[in-house]
Amino acid sequence: MSSPILKLIAQRIALGIVLLLAVSVLIFAGTQILPGDVAQAILGQSATPESLANLREQLGLNAPAYVRYFHWLGGVLTGDLGTAMSSGQDIATSIKGRLWNTLFLAFWAAIVAVPLAIILGLIAVRYRNGWVDKLISGLALASTSFPEFFIGYVLVYFFAVKWQIFPGISTVYDGMPFGERMQAIALPATALTLVVLAHMMRMTRAAILNVMQSAYVETAELKGLSAFNVIRKHAFPNAIAPIINVVMLNLAYLIVGVVVVEVIFVYPGMGQYLVDHVTKRDVPVVQAVGLIFAAVYITLNIIADIAAIVANPRLRHPK
């Protein structure tokens, strides 16, 4: 790999680190300006002023905000995410299993959504402006018009309540057999697939159609290549950079945007964990989950940038 690419990769990684630090400041500041008193929320309305003062001192709430921020950031950098106020459990230990569940769900949704979106995009381009293209584009547009909670509840109604094929509550646990786990995540994975499928398909179609207007594609057509071969050999490889970009963005969404889907199916992932502790005003958990979501999103965006640079020589030489 040549040095200009290494330089661009190093720049992207450095920018990602700076951005993550900025996000950590926003997350910490956002949790500090929330209304209410953390100590009061933990001890309840019957707490005495002395017990509230002792708890604030114990939690370090009397220290200046910047001191608490650097103390929290130092803990994060050493792998210590703190302790949940509501349960007293170690956050890093609790998040480990939840993060695995969310990644497992996102992985299987991506395994279905990514190839299906690219295939549908290629078919739409092959039969562009025909009834197949209009049917695929129409279904994709309708899919993007429905919010996640609507898709989730429709799936629950038909597949869990009416036909009783899959469970409506996606309970998973350690040591659960693989087959049972796959059956449990069938509905939330389907909901996530439908949410991201249309966007990736439409972007794939648009990227390939843009390349199809190039002179070399017209030359390939004049040589007598079939429409399928023109798309496969000339259009798709040159449209791969924007396609990778949109795929990565949707993969990021599959991980950080699962909150609604996990709540609907009571799936024990990061989103459900976050919502449970937001209601308890458990600030350390909210900070930790928010920072992990931000890190995942920024990392996948950096990977998308690097993949686009490697796949497209013009991005390596912008001038």
Asked if residue 242 belongs to a domain, the reply is yes
CA 183, 162, 263, 295: dihedral to nearest 10 degrees?
Answer: 50
- Collect all residues with Cβ–Cβ distance below 8 Å to 95 and sequence separation of at least 6: 81, 270, 273, 288, 289, 292
Q: How many domains does the chain divide into?
A: 1
- Whole-model pTM? 0.82
- Residue 2 confidence (pLDDT) above 70: no
Candidate from 57-66, 100-109, 120-129 with smallest mean pLDDT: 57-66
Q: What is the pLDDT of residue 105?
A: 92
Answer yes or no: is 61 within a domain.
Answer: no
Q: Indicate which CATH number applies to the domain containing 147.
A: 1.10.3720.10
Across 22-31, 91-100, 218-227, 288-297, least confident range: 218-227
The answer to the question of residue 305 being in a domain is: no
With a pLDDT cut of 90, the percent of the chain lying above it is: 22
Question: Does residue 214 form part of some domain?
Answer: yes
Higher pLDDT, 121 or 280: 121
Query: Half-sphere exposure of 122 toward its Cβ, with a 13 Å CA cutoff?
Result: 20
Task: Tell whether 126 is covered by a domain.
Answer: yes
Can you give the residue range of the structural domain that contains 219? Answer: 95-280
Q: Does position 157 have pLDDT exceeding 90, yes or no?
A: yes
Q: Per the domain annotation, does 41 fall within a domain?
A: no
Residue 316 pLDDT level (bands cut at 50, 70, 90): low
Instruction: Let me know if residue 117 belongs to a domain.
Output: yes
* 21 pLDDT more than 80: yes
Concatenated DSSP letters of 85-150 = TTT--BHHHHHHHHHHHHHHHHHHHHHHHHHHHHHHHHHHHHTTTSHHHHHHHHHHHHHHHS-HHH
Q: Which residue has the higher pLDDT, 1 or 195?
A: 195
- pLDDT reported for residue 20: 93
Rounded to the nearest integer, the mean pLDDT of the chain is: 84
Span 35-69, pLDDT tens digits: 666 777 777 777 788 887 887 777 777 788 888 88
What is the pLDDT, as a whole number, of residue 233? Answer: 78
Instruction: Using the structure block, give the residue that is written with the tokens 């330089």.
Output: 7
DSSP 45: T
Q: Exposed (0-12), middle (13-18) or buried (19+): which is 78, by Cβ within 10 Å?
A: exposed
Who has greater pLDDT, 305 or 35?
305
Residue 119, pLDDT > 70, answer: yes
Structure confidence at residue 144 (pLDDT)? 77
In a domain, 99, yes or no: yes
Are 172 and 181 spatial neighbours (Cβ–Cβ below 8 Å)?
yes
pLDDT of residue 108 exceeding 90, the answer is yes
